[in-house]
Amino acid sequence: MAQRKSRKARKASGKSTREGGTLAQRARQRVSDGTLRAAKASIARARDIGDGARRVMHPDRLPTPHISLIRAPDKPLRRSKIGNSIRVASYNVHRWAGVNGRGKPKFERAADVIADLNADVIALQEVLRPFDEIYGLEEFAQDLGLHVAFASNRVHKRGELGNAILSRFPLTSISVLDLFSSRIERRCALAAGVDTGSGLFGVVATHLSLVDRTRHRQVEMLLKHPQWNAGPAVLVGDMNAWRECKASQNLEDTLHRHNNVDWPPTFPSSRPILALDRIYASGAKVVSVKAHNSPAARRASDHLPVVASIRIGSES
């Protein structure tokens, strides 16, 4: 009797083990591809966090901002003196990825907007220069007969990311100011001397930090740049001035701004509320500044471009 019970118990145990194994197999089979993708994404995010932590521990390993591209057009526009007025624009192109920034870069959307601005000098932020670029910033500048300079801040998964200057007039000098005041990221300013035919005109293009304290330190570094002592010049870019702070106050106390009551809002492009993109002058006067709010601009980036008329010469 005892032996029979023992055999029955072993059979029941074996059956239970087989059923348990079958259930486990079925459970594994029910794991969807989406769940596996989510798990892989979580692992990738964890690795990114680890890489970020290592960069904080070793900030010297962050890439140093550098000039990556300077080129004059093969067929430059016919040069003529500009008198005492120059048209300057600033545009955060959001990596050419449209409003939400999630899609693949589509250069043509923002390129059409840039052409519509009809500016003498254009400063671009969040410029992506893809590794596998077939037609991009350099070719676009060639087609429009513009001089181009590009400074790389860091390497993005799709290419180099940084600031650029496009100009109808020759670029006589180029320099990069490293605005490294954060252990997490590098930012820079790209400075250029522009030969307008009536004299030299300085352009400093930048993209400042979102963090108030960091942005204030960056502004202090910018205002020490020798460009402000070399004649008329403008500071152009995404200042990330989402609220009044020491950084924006310092800029407005030191440089010339427009006479409008408020800066034109440029972000988000679909319904602009914040005036993040600004143009200041030194040794010159900002006569007017406005946002370029067109249907194409609202689709091409999460920022609208701003365009300013700058008066230079004795009347400024």
Please list, in sequence order, all residues whose beta carbon lies within 8 angstroms of the beta carbon of residue 215, skipping any fewer than 6 positions away. Answer: 208, 209, 239, 240, 241, 245, 247
CB 119 within 8 A of CB 308: no
Q: In this predicted structure, what is the pLDDT of residue 57?
A: 44
What secondary structure, in 3-state letters, does 229-298 show? HCCCEEEEEECCCCCCCHHHHHHHHHCECCCCCCCCCCECCCCCCECCEEEEEECCEEEEEEECCCHHHH
Four-CA torsion 103, 108, 113, 115, nearest 10 degrees: 160
Output DSSP code: residue 313: S
141 domain-assigned: yes
User: Domain check: are 30 and 177 in the same one?
Assistant: no
184 domain-assigned: yes
Closest C-alpha among 86, 89, 106, 84 to residue 97: 106
User: Domain check: are 50 and 103 in the same one?
Assistant: no
Positive or negative: CA dihedral 152, 154, 157, 163: negative
User: Domain check: are 161 and 231 in the same one?
Assistant: yes
Final residue of a structural domain among 57, 78, 93? 57
**CATH number of the structural domain spanning residue 201:** 3.60.10.10
User: Domain check: are 31 and 51 in the same one?
Assistant: yes
Closest C-alpha among 213, 285, 275, 203 to residue 250: 213
316 domain-assigned: no
User: Domain check: are 141 and 185 in the same one?
Assistant: yes
pLDDT-based confidence at residue 100 (cuts at 50, 70, 90): confident
Which two three-digit tokens encode residue 223?
């205002």
71 domain-assigned: yes
Final residue of a structural domain among 35, 57, 79? 57
Instruction: Please name the amino acid found at residue 145.
Output: G
User: Domain check: are 159 and 195 in the same one?
Assistant: yes
User: Domain check: are 48 and 74 in the same one?
Assistant: no
14 domain-assigned: yes
User: Domain check: are 168 and 186 in the same one?
Assistant: yes
User: Domain check: are 202 and 130 in the same one?
Assistant: yes
User: Domain check: are 181 and 165 in the same one?
Assistant: yes
116 domain-assigned: yes
Model pTM score: 0.78
User: Domain check: are 197 and 239 in the same one?
Assistant: yes
Four-CA torsion 8, 12, 15, 16, nearest 10 degrees: -170
User: Domain check: are 83 and 129 in the same one?
Assistant: yes
- The count of domains in the chain is 2
117 domain-assigned: yes
243-275 per-position pLDDT tens digit: 888 898 899 888 888 776 689 999 999 999 999
pLDDT-based confidence at residue 58 (cuts at 50, 70, 90): very low
pLDDT-based confidence at residue 38 (cuts at 50, 70, 90): low
Is the confidence at residue 232, as pLDDT, over 70? yes
Q: In this predicted structure, what is the pLDDT of residue 315?
A: 56
Is the confidence at residue 120, as pLDDT, over 70? yes
43 domain-assigned: yes
Q: In this predicted structure, what is the pLDDT of residue 162?
A: 93
Write out the residue range of the structural domain in which residue 8 sits.
Answer: 2-57
